[in-house]
Each structure stands twice: as C-alpha cells, then as structure tokens.
C-alpha cells in the first residue's frame, strides 16, 4: 500500500518522552458524535460496553483503546471522527471494566484478550453482514489485535487491521518501564489499573509499585495464566506476525521508550510495517501541519490507511 510522508518532529521535540507526553497533553477538540450505547454480553456471563455511531457507508470501523484508557480517550475520539467523516459506522469499545464498562465485568482485560475482540467483531458481522470490517488497536490493544490476526485465526477476524505502537515483547516492555523517565508511565499505568480493579472488587490490592509487580500479583492470576512469565510469553505478539493473513498495517517508532519497533518479529507479506525514526509512544507531534491541517501525524497516517483499507 502507499504510505504517508515520513513523520518529522520539531527539533525541540525529538526526544521520545517529549513526543509521548506532549501528544497526550495537548488537547484536540473534536465534534460530538451521535453515539448510541450498546451492551455486548460475553460467553462467560460478563459484558462489554460499546459506543456506536451509525454511518451511511458499508465499512464498520472498530476502535480498541490502550492500557488504562477508554472509548473516550483523545486518540479514540479523533480516530472516530476520521471514520465518521468517511460515512463509516464507528464502534468504540471499552475493554472489561473500563470507561462506561465499569460494573459490567469482574475479570480484567489483558494483553492476550483476543476472544473479547473477536466477540465484538462477531457481533458486528451479525449486525452488518454485508459490511467491510476494519479494526484499529492502540498500544495494548494493538498487541491484542495482532495476536488475533496472527495467532488466533480460528476466531472471528476483521477484513483488515491497523496496530499502533504494539508492545511486541511484554517482558522487555515491562522491564523498560522500570528505567529512568519511563517510571513516570509505569506509575501512571499502575495508578489507573489499581483504581479500576479496587473499584470493581471493592477491596484494596497489595502494594504493586510497578506494572511488572501488578501483573504478577493480579493480572496473570485473574486472567488464568500460571504466572507473570507465562502471561508475558503467551501474550506477546512479536513471534506471531509472520503468520498474519488479513491485510494489516503496523505503525510504530524506533524510539518508542518502552515498546520499540525492534521488539517486533518478522512479518508476513500481508503486513505493511511502517517504522518511523521518531514519534515516541503514540506521540507523532509534527513540525508542520499535515494535509489534514493539524500537527497530529498519527491522524494523517490513519487517514491514509483508511483510504486504502476501508473500501
């Protein structure tokens, strides 16, 4: 597929942490969309909360948020606007217990929760059987989505997939989060996850100073893995990129502070791997406006992907 022009940051914003933090702090006003709320029952008796914005076209765009985020996250809202402007139906998903899904699930979402993504796609295919189904995953959801199309091809698949800054090696990502400035992100992830879990379970968790510790104390056990090492080994997408069959785009950066492109394994011919030199983790604040009129290079890159993958 054709690719957008390379990302070029301002000279003062080439440090990956500046990109990562800046892009999340600068507000991007977006128009309110006519969302409708849907509750999707899952096979295990729990439920997901979906925000659905009906469109006129035949393409259905599914959006899955990052760790500690929700369907209302800034990058989710911006991407929803892009899809809506193309006349597509947009489905923005809250993972288990996140956002508007609080109170609907007791089990946690995690890096390998491909069955939940497949359940959403299965629901969408039943509702729009003639549609083209395009899924976008950000960060942890990018990992889930790549596992779905690479490892778990027996589950319901999208017609095309876009993964933004996936952590290809969970063990290495968790270790990097303990170093230097990355500890700021680590503390933030733990804070958000503990808030959600303690609110859901109504009890305090043991102290969990790092995400590695949180995954050892809580996530791995509650998600059914033997331990943290088993969880990380089974749920890292990097080793499964060579088997992907559906058209897939991966957007990532060399300088992602905890999930760099170097953690990704060889990809199949179905995958278009777009690796930028700069950008941090889902940052991509550009030196000059993109053709969309903003400095959000990621939005521009996604729009170019939509142009070719959306049908």
pLDDT tens string 129-165 = 999 999 999 999 999 999 999 999 999 999 999 999 9
What per-residue confidence (pLDDT) applies to 113? Answer: 97
What is the domain partition of the chain in residue ranges?
A: 11-168+242-309
Check if CATH label 3.30.360.10 holds for domain 11-168+242-309.
Answer: no
- Report pLDDT for 119: 98
Q: Residue 175: what pLDDT?
A: 97
Pair 238, 168: CB distance under 8 Å: yes
Helix, strand, coil in percent for the chain, rounding step 5: 40, 15, 45
Q: Phi/psi class of residue 76: alpha, beta or left (left: φ > 0; alpha: ψ in -120 to 50)?
A: alpha
Over residues 253-276, the pLDDT tens digits come to: 999 999 999 999 999 999 999 999
Q: What is the DSSP string of 186-219?
A: HHHHHHHHHHHHHHHHSSPPPP--SHHHHIIIII
């Amino acid at each position: 597929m054709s690719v957008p022009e390379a990302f070029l940051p301002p000279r003062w914003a080439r440090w990956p942490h500046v990109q990562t933090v800046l892009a999340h702090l600068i507000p991007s006003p977006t128009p309110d969309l006519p969302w409708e709320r849907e509750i999707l029952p899952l096979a295990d008796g729990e439920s997901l909360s979906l925000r659905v914005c009906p469109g006129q076209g035949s393409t259905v765009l599914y959006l899955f948020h990052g760790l500690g985020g929700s369907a209302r996250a800034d990058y989710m809202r911006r991407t929803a606007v892009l899809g809506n402007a193309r006349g597509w139906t947009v489905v923005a998903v809250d993972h288990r217990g996140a956002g508007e899904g609080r109170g609907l699930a007791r089990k946690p979402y995690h890096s390998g929760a491909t069955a939940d993504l497949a359940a959403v796609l299965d629901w969408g295919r039943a509702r729009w059987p003639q549609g083209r189904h395009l899924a976008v995953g950000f960060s942890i959801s990018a990992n889930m989505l790549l596992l779905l199309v690479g490892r778990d091809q027996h589950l319901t698949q999208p017609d095309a997939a876009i993964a933004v800054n996936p952590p290809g090696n969970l063990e290495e990502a968790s270790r990097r989060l303990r170093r230097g400035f990355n500890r700021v992100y680590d503390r933030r992830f733990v804070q958000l996850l503990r808030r959600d879990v303690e609110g859901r379970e109504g009890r305090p968790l043991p102290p969990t100073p790092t995400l590695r510790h949180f995954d050892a104390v809580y996530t791995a056990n509650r998600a059914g893995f033997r331990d943290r090492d088993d969880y990380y080994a089974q749920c890292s997408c990097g080793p499964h990129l060579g088997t992907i069959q559906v058209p897939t785009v991966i957007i990532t950066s060399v300088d992602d502070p905890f999930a760099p492109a170097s953690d990704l394994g060889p990809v199949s011919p179905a995958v278009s791997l777009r690796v930028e030199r700069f950008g941090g983790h889902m940052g991509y604040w550009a030196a000059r406006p993109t053709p969309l009129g903003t400095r959000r290079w990621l939005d521009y890159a996604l729009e170019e992907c939509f142009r070719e993958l959306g049908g």
